[in-house]
Amino acid sequence: MTFASIASSESSLTIHQWTKDSADYPCELLDLAHAPSPLFSIGDPEVLNRPRIAVVGTRKSTGYGERVTRNLGLAFARAGVTVVSGMARGIDSKAHRTALENGAGTVAVLGTGIDVPYPVGHRALHRSIGAQGLILSENPPGTSARLGAFPKRNRIIAALAPLTIVVEADFRSGAINTATQALELGRTVGAVPGPIDSDQSRGTNQLIKDGAQVITKPEDALALMGITVKPEKPPTPLLPDTEQKVWDSLADGVKLTDDLPALTDLTLAECLAAITSLEIMGLVECTLAGEIRRR
């Protein structure tokens, strides 16, 4: 492996320089017409060895977009997926932070030098990603933001992940540019639908009209990656004695209300009171036919 190491004045982290021959160089970038070389990195390249999904979106994110991004990020963390994004304000930073908060891998691709956080308010986020994930840039250390650098950066995000998800974006935006470059590379693009009267969702809704995969829940994205996550078994609730007896009697399926006294050694009145209590707690549901089942 050929690389150089330099001390980063911004973050006091080590900068590595990769060429196309370096062992850690992401082979997916070779699909690009002009693959970046050298490629600078800070952090742990091991995060590249996991399944990767790019999550991108507008800098002017709404509460809806940030909520969706967090829900996606939580599911991706549980599935062992590395999130790739651009460390911009809004959706990008929310995707990175959710990954970091949940111990998942994340990759930030910069349009500036590897040691130049952009925006400057993301210095702490830059340091956190460098310490817990991976930062990449094709620009030499010390390079400041300049015109045209970010669309060029977007091609690296698009190439790194087999799936790019756009959460919120207007018609002309960096996120739509990333999605377009992903399609040109033969990658899959997904989009989260949004309100038809929201500027932040005009681009994503248009992507869906143009044939992008519709992402309405995290499982949609994971299915596109061929990843199936076994649902977490809910914890056994701590219940009063009568409710516990009724709850236990429903362990193997649907029961009739009239059968519960024999199964629980309770009176019918006690069973009905326990059922009402369990319904209020959201643990069981009752049908008009008198059947009781766990939710």
List of residues 6+ apart from 141 with CB closer than 8 A: 6, 8, 15, 40, 113, 114, 115, 116
Q: Between 150 and 282, where is the model more confident?
A: 150
| The pLDDT of residue 231 | 67
Q: In the predicted model, is pLDDT for residue 255 greater than 80?
A: yes
Q: For residue 234, how many other CB atoms are within 10 A of its CB?
A: 9
Q: What residues pair up with 282 in beta bridges, in sequence order?
A: none
Q: In the predicted model, is pLDDT for residue 5 greater than 50?
A: no
What confidence tens digit (pLDDT) does each residue in 260-274 have? 999 999 999 999 999
3-state helix vs strand vs coil in the chain, percent to 5 = 40, 15, 40
- pTM for this model (two decimals): 0.77
Query: For the packed helices 268-280 and 241-249, what is the interaxial angle rounded to 10 degrees?
Result: 90
What confidence tens digit (pLDDT) does each residue in 174-214 have? 999 999 999 999 999 999 999 999 999 999 999 999 999 99
pLDDT band at residue 8 using 50, 70 and 90 as cut-offs: very low
Q: Give me the count of residues in the chain.
A: 295
> What are the structural domains of the chain?
5-224 (3.40.50.450), 241-294 (1.10.10.10)
For the ranges 38-42, 117-121, 231-235, which has the lowest average pLDDT? 231-235
E strand or H helix at 55, and its extent? Answer: strand 52-56
